[in-house]
Structure 1
Amino acid sequence: MPKIKTVRGIEEHKVVSPEEWLAAREDLLKAEKELTKLSDDVARKRQELPWVRMDKEYKLDTDEGEVSLIDLFKGRSQLLIYHFMFGPDYNAGCPHCSAIADGFNGIWNHLANHDVMLWAVSRAPFQKLQAYKLRMGWTFPWASSYGSDFNYDFHVSYTKEQQRSGSVEYNYNKGNVSSRQSDIAPTDAAPEEGKKIASSTGTDWATYTQEAPGMSAFVLEDGIIYHTYSTYARGLDGLWGIYQWLDRAPLGRNENGFWMLRHDEYDLKSLLKGDSNDCCA
């Protein structure tokens, strides 16, 4: 009988010979190749989606003052926007959005050189975004949609009235969608983890959940902007570098409690010594 090894009491694993491991790995490789081909097919379908002409004007605050959506293209033909959860009443950005945004610094300039501009857009006033950007050491472009309908039109911000009535739309579902944990009315009990996340942004659960994450894509052709794609919820997983690494780690995502902090909130000396957060131990 092969030995069974328990890792942190999470899951039991067989311990096998190198030959048996190789056979299992080759079976998995077949599945991985199938997934890669399927991902390529989905990417093609994504690019074949029809376009929607954008006739509505939006005013956004940037380093260069108030601009229109077309100005975010910066001479490129394509625009990608990450809808970053940072509402007007937040004192800090969502920790999860902050984690995905850590990866923007290393890629936005490559995208800009490839005819694609990457921006983050949030509803908080520009001064708040600038202060947080400085704290995080980020360089990627970030615009404020404060005072405009942009976030509401792309279903990543909700009014208090929408929350109370449950008439929200997220990830192409209408109503108080159970698939999104934060689609909880203010009168409902907030989850303990949600309270901690909200508190880390300086808000309560109801205020925190007036914002939602997502990304949208646009193309500029003959001076006209077209909306080509938007994705939300688990559709963002592929853009989140940390999840791609965790999915290849022995224990997977292993998400327990409020485990993800902003990068300047970790005790790096402790981590380098081999210590881990209590939530992950």
Structure 2
Amino acid sequence: MATHTTGTREQWLAARLDLLAAEKDLTRRSDALAQQRQALPWVRVEKTYSFDTEQGRATLPDLFAGRSQLLVYHFMFGPDYAAGCPSCSALADGFAGSAAHLANHDVTLTAVSRAPLAKLLGYRQRMGWTFPWASSHGNDFNFDFNVSFTAQQQREGSVEYNYLRGSHAMDMEPPPVPVVQFAASCGTDAATYALDRPGMSAFVLEDGQVYHTYSTYARGLDGLWSMYQWLDRAPRGRNEAGVWWKRHDEYVTR
């Protein structure tokens, strides 16, 4: 017996047409939101950052790789992690298919993390990824764009993430079970794991000057998880119960 409401094809079609109207409305609102996002004022990046990359030391303008737009995924991989965050890893699995199209549209996609470059490249090889990954180890980039924090900020409760102070689950004490589990899978403890957070930032290079145009964090990243877009169209949706995803090489084949 079906566990969900059933009906005739005619009933399904009537409900589907109602849903179609709602989907079209959401699409129009999403288009308007994208325009509002792109209308944000640009903020000049005054500080000089130096990153470690496969090509050697690089500045923020270098990360554009000859293009005028740069999308940075702030991948959670702190200096004391043994492996990258499983959630960031699930999101990054979708980069490969998009990177070539973005590059042809004058946009470079790269990841940036605080772990040393050797750790990042070793993990990238394990995951079978090819996207560029830069290390911000030793510079302020992650801190300036609010995806990394100091232990003192953590102790004082002064962490500001997703434009709010102390409101994120990772700041709870004791930490939620998923945070503890993810931290363990990265070879560290929950407090150390929580010093880094996920996010993405956009930049533009114009007349030799870099401008910061946009950043988003937490649930603002949902649209970048390709698996979520598929699951939202599956019969049972995301069907979330605890930590249901893993790194792609940790699943038992079904």
Structure-2 separation of matches of 1:239 and 1:189: 29
1:157 aligned partner? 148
For residue 216 of structure 2, what is the aligned residue in structure 1?
Answer: 231
Q: In 1, Cα distance between the equivalents of 2:100 and 2:185?
A: 30
Q: Look up the match of 2:121.
A: 130
Query: 2:170·2:176 contact (CA, 8 Å) conserved in 1?
Result: no
Q: 1:252 is matched with which residue?
A: 237
Q: Give the unaligned 5+ runs of structure 2.
A: none
Pairwise CA distance, 1:169: 1.0
Summarize the alignment of residues 25-174 of structure 1 with structure 2, pairs less than 5 Å apart.
25-173=16-164
1:264 aligns with 2:249: yes
Q: How many residues align?
A: 254
- CA-based RMSD of the aligned residues comes to 1.0
1:189-242: CA deviations, max 9, x gaps?
Answer: 122222111100001111111110000000000000000000111111111101
**Separation in 2, partners of 1:266, 1:74:** 35
Q: Which has the higher relative contact order, 1 or 2, with Cα contacts under 8 A spaced 6 or more apart?
A: 2
Matched residue SS, 2:66: coil
* Whole-angstrom CA distance in 2 between matches of 1:144 and 1:115: 23
Match of 1:219 in 2: 204
The match for 1:181 is: 169
SS of the aligned residue for 1:61 comes to: strand
Q: TM-score, normalised by structure 2?
A: 0.98
The 5-angstrom pairing of residues 187-202 of structure 1 reads: 188-202=173-187
Matched residue of 1:193: which SS? helix
SS in 2 for 1:202: coil
What SS class does the counterpart of residue 242 from structure 2 fall into?
coil
Q: How many Å separate the matches in 2 of 1:112 and 1:191? A: 39
Structure 1 residues without counterparts, runs of 5 or longer = 7-12, 272-281
Aligned partner of residue 75 in structure 1, secondary structure? coil
**Aligned partner of residue 5 in structure 2, secondary structure:** strand
- Among 6, 19, 27, the alignment partner of 1:15 is 6
Specify the structure having the higher radius of gyration (Cα).
Answer: 1
What is the one-letter code of the residue matched to 1:160? A
| 1:205 equivalenced with 2:195 (yes/no) | no
Is the contact made by 2:162 and 2:217 (CA closer than 8 Å) also made in structure 1?
yes
Fraction of identical pairs, as percent: 65
TM-score, structure 1 as length reference: 0.89
